[in-house]
């Protein structure tokens, strides 16, 4: 329109269509654009505020789905055997069910020097993992390293799980109250 009409024609057009020149002045257009931007920013901030009010693992998070928990448990107990190191053993070497994944003295020494070898596998139930977000855990099982980029000390394996499995394991560990499972 601006290209087709000269200035006079524009005024004539505006007058004929009963739109006052004042209404379409730059100020008024800017004001409307500004209000539009403002309402967009306000609604975005509200959305973000709502989302951040429920970060994973706090206040009232959505309950993890049963199939995700089952997948996590399957990987932990039957594929990766995390309990072989993280669950303490009784006198006959059997895992102590009430202390499932609550940390254990490995009771083994490497026969050759292994730098950084850890003799204790820590508690990995939810209470002990409060400083780990579910996302940090998932990432750690995906890349085989801690959030700060350091590898785990041996003999903790540097797992390279696919994203879904890593998330399932993270969600499962975060769901574990001490003694609640197995
Ligand atoms: C062969 C023994 C072994 C196995 C199997 C094992 N871990 Fe570990 N894990 C360790 C040791 C030892 C450490 C301590 C490593 C360190 O200090 O860096 C550890 C550390 C961790 C940590 C860090 C805890 C913290 O507070 O820093 C997590 C999380 C963890 N293991 C989860 C798992 C999961 C999940 C599995 C199974 C998928 C698993 N581990 C299997 C021995 C093991």
Q: What is the CATH number of the domain that holds 76?
A: 1.10.760
Q: How confident is the model at residue 179 (pLDDT cuts 50, 70, 90)?
A: low
User: Alpha-carbon distance 133 to 157, whole Å?
Assistant: 20
* Inside any domain, residue 142: yes
Q: Does 59 map to a domain?
A: no
Q: Which helix (H) or strand (E) element contains residue 121?
A: strand 120-121
pLDDT band at 167; cut points 50, 70, 90: very high
- In this structure, the number of other CB atoms found within 10 A of the CB of residue 26 comes to 7
35-39, 49-53, 103-107, range with greatest mean pLDDT: 103-107
Q: Are 176 and 125 in contact (CB under 8 A)?
A: yes
Decide: helix, strand or coil at residue 135: helix
Check if 133 has its Cβ closer than 6 Å to any atom of ligand 1: no
Do residues 80 and 128 share a domain?
yes
Expressed as residue numbers, the domain containing 32 is: 7-53
Q: Establish if 20 belongs to a structural domain.
A: yes
Closest Cα to atom 17, ligand 1: which residue? 153
Residue 60: is its pLDDT beyond 70? no
Quick one: 131 and 157 in the same domain?
Answer: yes
38: in domain: yes
Establish if 118 belongs to a structural domain. yes
Place of tokens 């490995």: 106
Q: Which two tokens stand for residue 116?
A: 């950084």
Q: How far apart are CA 73 and CA 131, in angstroms?
A: 21
Q: Are residues 91 and 119 in the same domain?
A: yes
pLDDT per residue as tens digits for the range 145-159? 999 999 999 999 999
32 in the same domain as 115: no
118 C-beta neighbours (distance < 10 Å), count: 14
Structurally, the chain folds into a number of domains equal to 2
Instruction: Give yes or no for residue 68 having a pLDDT over 70.
Output: yes
pLDDT above 50 (res 5): no
Q: In this predicted structure, what is the pLDDT of residue 62?
A: 73
Domain annotation covers residue 58: no
The answer to whether the beta carbons of residues 106 and 121 sit under 8 Å apart is: yes
**How far apart are the C-alpha atoms of 38 and 83, rounded to whole Å?**
54
Residues 46 and 91 in one domain: no
Are residues 48 and 72 both part of a single domain?
A: no
For residue 85, report the distance from its CA to the centre of ligand 1, in Å. 8
For residue 60, being part of any structural domain is answered with no
Residues 71 and 29 in one domain: no
Q: From the alpha carbon of 129, which atom of ligand 1 is closest?
A: 26
128 has pLDDT over 90 = yes
Q: Give the pLDDT of residue 10.
A: 42
Tokens 């003999």 correspond to 155
Q: Could you tell which of 74, 152, 175 is best to mutate to test the pocket of ligand 1, judged by most ligand atoms within 8 Å of the CB? A: 152
Q: Do residue 40 and residue 73 come from a single domain? A: no
Distance of alpha carbon 70 from alpha carbon 92, whole angstroms: 29
């Amino acid at each position: 329109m601006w290209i087709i009409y000269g200035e006079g024609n524009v005024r004539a057009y505006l007058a004929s269509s009963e739109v006052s020149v004042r209404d379409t002045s730059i100020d008024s257009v800017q004001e409307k654009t500004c209000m539009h931007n403002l309402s967009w920013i306000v609604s975005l901030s509200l959305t973000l505020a709502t989302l951040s009010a429920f970060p994973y693992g706090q206040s009232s998070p959505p309950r993890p789905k049963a199939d995700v928990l089952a997948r996590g448990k399957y990987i932990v107990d039957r594929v990766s055997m995390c309990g072989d190191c993280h669950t303490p053993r009784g006198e006959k070497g059997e895992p102590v069910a009430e202390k499932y994944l609550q940390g254990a003295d490995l009771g083994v020494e490497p026969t050759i020097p292994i730098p950084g070898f850890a003799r204790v596998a820590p508690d990995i139930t939810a209470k002990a993992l409060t400083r780990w977000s579910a996302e940090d855990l998932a990432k750690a099982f995906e890349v085989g390293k801690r959030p700060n980029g350091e590898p785990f000390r041996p003999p903790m394996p540097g797992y390279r799980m696919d994203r879904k499995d890593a998330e399932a394991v993270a969600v499962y560990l975060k769901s574990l109250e001490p003694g609640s499972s197995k």
